[in-house]
Structures are given as structure tokens and as C-alpha cells.
Structure 1
Amino acid sequence: CAWPLSLLLYTPILDKEVEGEYLDQKEPLKIPGCKPVRPDDVAKPMMNRKDPEYESFLSIASEIGVMSDGILVNTWEDLEPTSLKAMREDPEWKQILKVPVYTFGPMIRPGGSSSPRGEVLGWLDMQPNASVIYISF
């Protein structure tokens, strides 16, 4: 979804604009191209700005839009056109997002596993250390 990505990437701007805790705000937080975010709906790391977890979240948010080669989002253009267009074209977004945003999907988890858990873990145990990359969508 583009909405959680928008919230993550826009956190450095919110950090500068919002005084006090996000949860204490009376008005929804505004992110260009997105529906306003109710303070109660912020990501868990944003709930306490004094927590070291918030600093890590803010650091990741500051770096991901400039240090990566691109960002993959599990969505499609027709589902979230306004958010995606804003991330790609809005002048405020261009200040913090310097890499392209690519959509793919929808990717959904199948209802059941096609491979028994033991078989997968057995295969993994047979691989050399540090030779497997786990990617989760």
C-alpha cells in the first residue's frame, strides 16, 4: 500500500512541522496526496517521539527516499492514483523522495502453504551460513 509508505517517507517533514507528540494533536496530520491521518493511526514507532525506536524510524524515513535506487510498493496505479501521483510529482514530495516509486501487485498471500514447514526449514538448515536472502512482500 502507498499509504504506509507515504506516512513513513513523510515523517521527517512531520517531525519538523508538528510540535509535541503526534498522539496529542487535535487535527489530523496532512500528507500531500493522502487522506489526512488521524493521530491515533500513526505507526507504532511514532507514538512516542522520545523513544529511541522513533529516532530509528526517523533515520530510516530520511534515508530511504534518497539512498535507495527505487522503492517497490505492493499496490497498483488504479488503486491509489492520488497518493502515487503526489509522491512522483508534488514539489513537497520531491524534496524528500529522490528515487522512483514502482508499483507491482497485487501480491497476496495464498490461503495455505504448498510446502510443509519442516521441509522448508530443513532445506534452509542445509544452506551455507549467510547464503540465503529473505525477501518478504
Structure 2
Amino acid sequence: MKSLKKQRRIQIIALAAVALVISTGLIGYAMRDGINFFRAPSQIVAEPPAPTEVFRIGGLVEEGSLLRGQGETVKFSVTDGGATIPVVFTGVLPDLFGENQGMVGTGRYVNGVFEATEILAKHDETYMPKEVLDALKEQGVYKTPGES
């Protein structure tokens, strides 16, 4: 009788392990389109992503690059100090969006131009997204207040 209980326990543990593996696989499959990786302009130049890949780009809007076209189309360049990527966006920009300001955009990199579907701008003078801050520090462009 003891071997029957032991066999039953092993079956339950094996079934639980299989259920865990299947549920983890299903969650990963469901999230594959919802995950947008962050890239700095230098990373995009070094390893250009596929035109079908949706990702986030971040950096500073390059001074003198902001061009407002006909309608809602806006062109500008984003830089991290090491590389510059041209960006095209059709839509309404956030109120705090401007040159020399931090930004994060979501979209695709097609034929050397980042085609943004969403643009986010900083929400006050001191805030900058962590990914953008890290990328700018890595290029030596940004120094924390108090550094010389």
C-alpha cells in the first residue's frame, strides 16, 4: 500500500511540473508582442534591428533638428552623444517635448529612420527615464548634478 501512495505522489508532482512548464510557455508566447526593448542610438547604429521589430529608443532631441511638416508630421533627431538617429512621427507631441530634452519613442527602424508610433517626453525639469540616463552616462554626455 505504501508503494501506491508513493507512486501517486510522483504522478502528482510530475503533473504539476508539466502544468508549470506549459503555463510558462503560454505566458511567454502571449507576451512576445508586448515586450518592447529599449535601445540607445549608439546601440541601433552598432546593431540595426529588423524593420519588423518594435522597440523603444531614447535620448536627447538634437538641437536644431526639430522640423514640423505639413499636418501632424514631425521630424527630428535623437542622440545619446555617440550616435544620432533621425525620427519621423505623425501625431500630437507631448507639451514638454522640445530640443535638448529627454524623450522615449516606440516604433520601428526602417531604412535608417526610426518611424515612431508613440513619443513620451519628460514630465519636469529634473526627471529623465532611467534607460535614457544610463545611455547618456555611458556616452559621457550626462553628468549628475554636482559632478564636474
**Shared fold by TM > 0.5?**
no
TM-score (ref. length: structure 2): 0.28
The TM-score with structure 1 as length reference comes to: 0.29
**Structure (1 or 2) with the greater strand fraction:** 2
Higher relative contact order structure (alpha carbons within 8 Å, sequence separation ≥ 6): 1
The structure number with the bigger radius of gyration is 2
